[in-house]
Amino acid sequence: MKNIVFIICFLLSGCYLANGSPHPNNYWIKNGKKMSIEDDNRCSSKVYPNLGERYISLSKKQDKLGWTEFYKNQTEYKEFYSYLEIASKLMSKCYYDLGYRFKAPLYWCLAQDGDNTRVCMENMKYRN
């Protein structure tokens, strides 16, 4: 019986890792519901245009070249990534101001397929 339980748990965790963990936006909750696309767009329209001309220029370049080509210029990629990190923090604050709370489960925070742990640590202050 123990072996069956172990195998089932192993298979389920394998499916989770194979498909990747859900996007962090799935864990911004307001009144028991996930974040709406409208609220996500509202925050995006507040945050991204205000990052400045350099961000807009890098964003257009990334759109034109695609991630693979854009990544080859490490200097610009690192600069662009730093803008995305700033935007991530501002977006979280905006979600919180709209009444959402970050309610990711522990298993999501500990998944090793992305930046989940960093995202959880960053958004810990927005849990309540």
What is the structure's pLDDT at 122?
Answer: 94
What is the structure's pLDDT at 115?
Answer: 84
- Domain borders along the chain are 23-126
What is the structure's pLDDT at 19?
Answer: 72
Dihedral angle sign, alpha carbons of residues 90, 19, 65, 45: negative
What is the structure's pLDDT at 9?
Answer: 53
Query: pTM of the entire structure?
Result: 0.79
* Average pLDDT, consecutive stretches of 10 residues, N- to C-terminus, the chain (128 residues): 62 59 93 97 97 96 95 96 96 98 94 84 93
What is the structure's pLDDT at 12?
Answer: 54
Q: How far apart are CA 55 and CA 71, in angstroms?
A: 15
